[in-house]
Amino acid sequence: MTKEKKLSSHRLTVRILIGMVAGLIFGVVINAISPAEWIEIYVTGGLLHIGGSIFLASLKLLVVPLVLVSLICGAGALEDVKKIGRIGGRMMCYYMCTTATAIALALLLALLIQPGSDFHLDTTASFTAPETPSFVQTVIDIFPTNPVKAMAEGNMLQIIVFAILFGITLPMVGEAGKRLLAIFNDLNEVVMKMVMLLMEFAPYGIFFMIAKVFAGQGFSALLPMLKYFLVVVAALLLHEFLVFGLILKFIVRLNPAIFYKKFRGVLAVAFSTSSSGATLPITLETVEHDLGVPNSIASFAIPLGATINMDGTAIMQGVASVFIAQAYGIDLSLTSYLLIIVTATLASIGTAGVPGVGIITLAMVLRQVGLPVEGIGLIIGVDRLLDMLRTAVNVTGDAVGACYVARAEKQFDLNIYNNEKI
């Protein structure tokens, strides 16, 4: 990377962090002064809403083309089809193990701190959980019947299946396949450039989105739920820095400090959008260009991770289950805790990478364990803020997973990883 690029990428990260802090302060101030009607109409509902929505739409706009093109290039470059199976197996194993660790950590903290034990159930909680599709249907739905429909609906798993099939067929058709792959590689460069151009606007987009959330979100909802809130935050921070830090250091054998330094821009986008799906273009770009994971692995690991790997969501679901049990005075047996680990792992897999879905799939966990689903009504008020933090943990898990698989496959570029002093 050239010196100017290093500098501009460093400046961009600093600008993003400034946008984030400024948005937070601006939002909190607006909320605290109980603003006049014109501020609500023209600032919160006008400028902040329009600016944030346009940035979010632009991020989402890039997701489908990026996943499709990048994964076709990645799959097309694999000389050996068996490799996809091995990479997929490694990734699934990593996702399952880290998610189960995340929930175990969440349960441990919740049992130690007991956030719901002195909670008085004076609020009448109400929450009606929507129906969840059956497991069998969910598995069948991974396979697309119409690729255009899959893309129009942004159905990530179906797009992944189609792109892999298309990509691995390219080398089987000789010269024609080579020509097409070259075109997809060119397209990939264009879409990646679009991601980089959009990143230039990220500081403003992030400012608008964060300011809007905090302008609308008073902290009064936080007080009665403070203990629950803090336990989830503590578990999220421990997982983000301790668990992932240890995985990076001892399993992936990389310097964690470099990882977090290079990844903070992605964390800011995840935090402000609360959506792993919308953050996907930035995660993919950073993992490939700044961390040194090759396209053949990143293009597979990052979209799959953004769809099914949600450690932060699982943490919230673990703490929430224990909190609701304690608030309702229900004793949980050892079997119930194991059931929470298994069902929250599955529920987090079924959680789409969009804002606020984790709290809905929590209903599945509560039902399996026999806890009152209406307990969700107690915690829903503080969920918007937790969603921001847990999404940041979700995307970190995807990036660490991509590094892990690339290292295990001996395809990681250590020069790129170490060579950046941003």
If the CB atoms of residues 58 and 351 are measured against ligand ASP, the closer one turns out to be: 351
Contact 256, 399 (CB under 8 A): no
Tokens 């304690």 — which residue?
326
Pick the closer one to ligand ASP by CB: 188 or 345.
345
For residues 354 and 395, the answer to whether their CB atoms sit within 8 Å is no
Residue 135 CB, nearest distance to ligand ASP (Å)? Answer: 20
Assigned token pair, 108: 């441990």
**Distance from chain centroid for Cα 32:** 30
Residue 391 engages ligand ASP in binding (rule: CB under 6 A) = yes
Question: Does residue 396 belong to the site contacting ligand ASP (CB under 6 A)?
Answer: no
The single residue among 387, 389, 404, 407 that binds ligand ASP, judged by CB under 6 A, is 387
Residue 373: φ, ψ to 5°: -65, -30
Nearer to ligand ASP, 353 or 375 (CB): 353
Q: Which CB atom, from 192 or from 395, has the smaller least distance to ligand ASP?
A: 395
| Cα–Cα distance, 377 to 379 (Å, whole number) | 6
Where helices occur in 274-357 by DSSP H, the ranges are 276-289, 295-308, 311-327, 334-350
Nearer Cβ to ligand ASP (158/351): 351
- Residue 313 as a binder of ligand ASP (CB under 6 A): the answer is yes
Least distance in angstroms from the C-beta of 279 to ligand ASP: 8
Task: Annotate 384-422 with b (16+ C-beta within 10 A) or e (fewer).
Answer: bbbbbbbbbbbbbbbbbbbbbbbbbbeebeeebbeebeb
- Tell me how far apart the alpha carbons of residues 85 and 81 are, in angstroms, rounded to a whole number: 7
| Cβ neighbours around 12 below 10 Å, total | 17
98 part of the interface to ligand ASP, by CB under 6 A: no
Side chain identity at 195, as an amino acid letter?
V
Minimum CB distance to ligand ASP smaller for 350 or for 375? 350
Least CB distance to ligand ASP at residue 411 (A): 27
Q: Does 156 bind ligand ASP (CB under 6 A)?
A: no
When asked if residue 321 is in the footprint of ligand ASP (CB under 6 A), the reply is: no
| Contact call for residue 394 and ligand ASP (CB under 6 A) | yes
Q: How far apart are CA 116 and CA 109, in angstroms?
A: 12
Minimum distance between the CB of residue 213 and ligand ASP, rounded to whole angstroms?
Answer: 13
Q: Which stretch binds ligand ASP (CB under 6 A): 51-59, 129-137, 246-254, 390-398?
A: 390-398
Residue closer to ligand ASP by CB (options 275, 295) is 275
Residue from 44, 99, 274, 345 that binds ligand ASP (CB under 6 A)? 274
Q: Whole-angstrom Cα distance, residue 331 to residue 116?
A: 12
Contact flags string 343-382 toward ligand ASP, x per CB under 6 A: --------x-xxxxxx------------------------
Which residues neighbour 87 within 8 Å (Cβ) at sequence distance 6 or greater? 297, 300, 301, 405, 409
Pick the piece of the chain touching ligand ASP (CB under 6 A) from 100-108, 154-162, 225-233, 274-282.
274-282
Q: What are the two backbone dihedrals, phi and then psi, of residue 119, each rounded to the nearest 5 degrees? A: -85, 130
Residue 387 or 420: which CB sits closer to ligand ASP? 387
Per CB under 6 A, which region of 67-75, 171-179, 190-198, 384-392 contacts ligand ASP?
A: 384-392
239 touching ligand ASP, by CB under 6 A? no
Instruction: Kindly compute the dihedral angle of the four CA atoms of residues 193, 281, 287, 383, in this order, to the nearest 10 degrees.
Output: 150
Binding span for ligand ASP by CB under 6 A among 5-13, 272-280, 336-344, 413-421: 272-280
> How is residue 55 written in tokens?
């940035």
Q: How far apart are the first and last CA of the chain?
A: 11
> Considering the rule CB under 6 A, would residue 276 count as an interface residue with ligand ASP?
yes
Contact residues for ligand ASP, defined by CB under 6 A: 274-276, 310, 313, 351, 353-358, 387, 390-391, 394
